A = this chain, B = another copy of it.
Amino acid sequence: MKKILNDPSKAVFEMMEGIVNENKNLLMNEEMHFIYKKNIDKNKVSLISGGGSGHEPSHAGYIGNGMLDCAICGEIFTSPTPDMIEEGIKKIKSDKGTLLIVKNYSGDVINFELAKMLAKTKGEKVEMVIVNDDVALEESTYTNGRRGVAGTIFVHKIAGAAAERGWSLQKVKKIAEKVIENVRTIGMSFGPCIIPQSGKSSFNLNDDEIEMGLGIHGEPGIRREKIKTAKILVKEMLDIILKDIDFNNSRIALLVNGLGGTPIMELYIANKDAFDYLNKMGIKIVWNKVGNYMTSLEMPGMSLTLLKLDNEMEELLNDKTDAKGWK
């Protein structure tokens, strides 16, 4: 295993130290493994996300004005425990309440839900939304229902902007749910990543194979296919999304997301092919980002996310944020 690593069991902790070293606006809770904004604004709704680590810059990279206030950092690909989440809720609570943004994985959902209930019994105002944007599978290895993947960062951004504008907890929750209703993602991979604790590949593919629809922890996807050109690959991925939701005559946001080990050049080639195909389908792309936003360690591959916009979501999407991961 070739990694920049000391003790694998301390990888997440050391990463968190590296993150707060870089960003002087952040602090970390060493015992409970969460990172939070130094200056909490009590007059806006607080936003918390988190889950297993290994998806950087998700989620700690999205802490900043106009996005998250706190990210709970579980072990690699492992849900954080309820007490970690509850402590995070306590640390960044505001007079307006707290929204938890959770990717749909059973462990995350159970533990965030439990933490929410515990916080509520102590009088905190806490709500929760569950992101399930992955159209690949209706049920999967670690999930009831669809998985939550890269579309989650649109929820961070748009709900974060709404909170920054001073919206109430119920209104912030409602716009987060609107994003979730309108966002769809499909992923693909050329190969596995290696989890430091085990030192092993999470799965294997032949030299000419790709995995279509895999999850961000290397969970199986829809099917294995032969390698194809970028143009055909992108069309095939977009067709899976377009079958799921009617984007006709829509204005959309397009996110081309790298899984950690893909050259940025290749992501831009995919972006060009996605533009060409979506334009041909009469779908208007009014917002676009290309890069590593929701990764799986060093996995080679990418995901495509489409968000159907209305004026309200588009405006909030374009509000300013200083979160380092949102570039």
- Contact A272 B302, CB 8 Å, known A4-B230, A264-B57: no
- Contact A191 B11, CB 8 Å, known A18-B267, A22-B268, A271-B22: no
- Contact A271 B324, CB 8 Å, known A263-B295, A264-B56: no
Which residues 283-327 of A sit at the B interface, judged by CB distance below 8 A? 285, 288-290, 292, 295, 297-298, 300, 302, 324-327
Contact of B265 with A2 in the complex, beta carbons under 8 Å: no
Q: Specify how many copies of this chain sit in the oligomer.
A: 2
Which listed residue (B14, B16, B267) contacts A4, Cβ 8 A?
A: B267
Contacts of A249 in B (CB 8 A): none
**A254-282 vs B: 1/0 string, CB under 8 Å?**
00100011111111111111010000000
Residues of A bordering B, CB below 8 Å: 2-6, 11-12, 14-19, 21-22, 53-54, 56-57, 61, 76, 190-191, 193, 207, 210, 227, 229-231, 233, 256, 260-273, 275, 285, 288-290, 292, 295, 297-298, 300, 302, 324-327
In the complex, 16 of the A-B residue pairs with CB atoms within 8 angstroms, ordered by the A residue number, are A2-B207, A2-B210, A2-B300, A3-B266, A4-B230, A4-B233, A6-B231, A14-B272, A15-B269, A17-B275, A18-B267, A18-B268, A18-B269, A18-B290, A54-B265, A298-B300
